[in-house]
Amino acid sequence: MTEPNNGEEIDSGLEDLLVFIRDARGFDFTGYKRSTLARRVRKRMAEVGSTDFVEYRDHLKAAPKNSATCSTRS
């Protein structure tokens, strides 16, 4: 049995989060580099105390106005 690739888990979690943001808030990050998005999302996650993408998605669901901050420049 092989261990899951952490990079794949991060990619999957980030992609799921981006789909949620697109569907729920209308922000489409298709043209953005994934490494840039991951860095910016992780910064926002740290600001609100989220430890993973699922937790951050739940935070955005509970506080919808915060999803707009993902699209602003840092």
Average pLDDT over the chain, rounded to whole? 82
Q: Does the pLDDT value for residue 49 go beyond 90?
A: yes
User: Please, are residues 34 and 11 in contact by the beta-carbon 8 Å criterion?
Assistant: yes
Query: What pLDDT score does 4 carry?
Result: 46
pTM above 0.95, yes or no: no
Domain regions of the chain by residue span: 7-69
As a whole number of angstroms, the distance between CA 10 and CA 17 comes to 10
Per-residue pLDDT tens over the stretch 7-29: 665 688 999 999 999 999 899 99
In eight-state DSSP terms, residue 64 is G
Mean pLDDT of 61-70: 66
As a whole-number percent, the residues of the chain with pLDDT over 90 amount to 65
Query: What pLDDT score does 48 carry?
Result: 94
